[in-house]
Amino acid sequence: MVPVVLLINGFTKGDWGDALLFSITIAVGLTPEMLPVIMTSTLAKGAVLMSKHQVIVKTLGAIQTFGEMDVLCTDKTGTLTEDRIILEKYMNVVGDDDNRTLRHAFLNSYFQTGLKNLLDLAIINRAHENGIEAILNSYTRLDEIPFDFSRRRMSVLLEDQNGKQQLVTKGAVEEMLAICTYAEWNGKILKLDETLLQKVRSVYEQHNRDGLRMIAVAQKNDVAGGELSVDDERDLVLIGFVGFLDPPKESAKAAVTALDSHGVRTVVLTGDSEGVAVKVCSKVGVETSCYLTGKEVESMDDAALSESVERCSIFAKLSPSQKERVVKALQTNGHTVGYMGDGINDAPPLHQADVGISVDTAVDIAKETADIILLKKDLMVLEKGVAAGRRTFGNIVKYIKMAASGNFGNMISVIVASLFLPFLPMLPVQILTQNLLCDFSQMGIPFDNVDLEYLQKPRKWETRSIKSFMAFMGPLSSVFDILCFAVMWWIIKANTPAMAPLFQCGWFVFGTVSQVLVIHMIRSGKVPFVQSMAAKPLLLSTTIVALAAVLVGFSALASGLDMAPLPLGFLPWLLLLLAGYCLSTQFFKAIYIRRFGEWL
């Protein structure tokens, strides 16, 4: 439209130099140069607000993504649970308490040289409490096979004082049963046939349903050689199980409910068994009617998984790559996904998610990958983060829609004025001054309030919404600009080239004050100043700019901008035009909301 303004003014006014300068000034005035300032200030304000809730924002853009998030994937341990792993049971395969099972689990946890997780520490602590750490003097570690997420177990090769070698293995129950050929049943080593396997499984499943995280312990004597390989992990004798308890957090249910009320669905992705996951999730309000295991996820193609993630909210016994795949499937379905985790196995899904969330006690790779770090491991903090993100997003959208509709209307007004006026409707210095004043008036937008209704559901960038808003509201401002032209031309009699400074002053004042007022009209779908009040910084910035524009227009200061001071007789017309503009905007706002469903 700028070249159109150049051609119209060049041909109608005959001064191509002035027309070129005027067109360039219009282009500068229409550029939303405040957008980087508004966005950065709004995001920074959101980061400061979240810091008060013990949240560190590493990536400013993540705040906005928080507002868009409609699915939160989270690990179970430490987020839904207390992260206090307690060794609750140590039993033989019959289900009776058995110190021998604890001893073997202790040897495995103590002698493994990798990072000792919370399960290992719980076993070691219980061994110290029971006074069995003295057995360490009888063993020497020869070799080990560290834990990995495909095998889901770890093994150590020990040698006692008599030179006898023993392989001790512990790990996830299903993976352990797959490598055990025998089981120690009532003091006898029996072949783990189908009948005995069913009995063993029933013991495991009973405790698993009660919410215990079960780990199987097995051993094998006289392993050949001093170096271990995965091939050595076979034909083991199942000794028993150790069961851990990690109680749900008291705040978890309230947090899940609060997130759900904000349109955020909670999906649990855990490496634990499905029994434990379902038990915990049922206590905190996560839907438990459908769940899948990692083995089932692995067997699905992408289409089947995309369908399943919409139905199931619990995914158990997942490897890191499977967690990442579930997150990706949700994103493919159009969801904005957040992921919360703190372990090494959480790094892939943290990287895949739209917003990665970790805690300050997490492993380094999780903290490096995450966009947001929580100093308090609590889902309620995320609910506050979602609200802050949507508030931030709302204030950015306010500016964009305001700028798009206002600039579109201004261009129509400039073209109309260029066609029918024998002089420029405003000089370049006046346009740039008006633009600067309007920029100052918008400085309070990052600190503005957002209606509570706006925070109730996820918000996403939608170009179609901006276009429809611009097309709907832009021409309305042009109508009142043209009415202002009519008042200046026929009532104030500024209708000759000699009276151009007076005409330009009238449009300068009306244009500035109307753009300031429309901030309050557009910032909320409610009635401004009555149902929805702007924040104090925005009230202050808009009031100062409106008063400054009126002061300049009705005083000798106007001459500093090559304008003529307005007569007091223009003031009633100015107030009438502004009142009509505000009422019309409110009327068309109601029509827009009925047609498109929402305002911003």
The residues, ordered by sequence, that sit 6+ positions from 285 with a Cβ below 8 Å of its Cβ are: 252, 253, 256, 257, 260
Residue type at 122 in one-letter notation: A
**DSSP character string of 102-121:** HHHHHHHHHH--S---HHHH
| Residue count (the chain) | 600
In a 13 Å sphere around the CA of 302, the CA atoms on its Cβ side amount to 9
166: Cα separation from own chain's centroid? 50
Is the CB of residue 331 less than 8 Å from the CB of residue 62?
no
The residues, ordered by sequence, that sit 6+ positions from 424 with a Cβ below 8 Å of its Cβ are: 9, 13, 18, 22, 418, 500, 504
First-to-last C-alpha distance (Å) of the chain: 26
Q: What is the DSSP letter of 40?
A: H
**DSSP character string of 265-293:** EEEEE-SS-HHHHHHHHHHHT---S-EEE
Separation between Cα atoms, residue 74 and residue 366, nearest integer Å: 13
The residues, ordered by sequence, that sit 6+ positions from 191 with a Cβ below 8 Å of its Cβ are: 181, 182
Separation between Cα atoms, residue 123 and residue 134, nearest integer Å: 15
Q: Is 246 a catalytic residue?
A: no
592 closest CA partner among 441, 513, 482, 475: 475
- Could you give the 3-state DSSP secondary structure of residue 241? strand
Which helix H or strand E contains 7, and what residues bound it? helix 2-13
The structure tokens 């004042």 sit at: 509
Per-residue tokens: 524: 């909320």
- Sheet strands (E) in 3-79: 55-57, 71-74
Separation between Cα atoms, residue 577 and residue 381, nearest integer Å: 47
Q: Considering 70, 75, 98, 246, which one is annotated as catalytic?
A: 75
Separation between Cα atoms, residue 36 and residue 396, nearest integer Å: 10
Separation between Cα atoms, residue 313 and residue 327, nearest integer Å: 12
323 closest CA partner among 359, 369, 289: 369
Is the CB of residue 172 less than 8 Å from the CB of residue 153?
yes
Annotated catalytic residues are 75
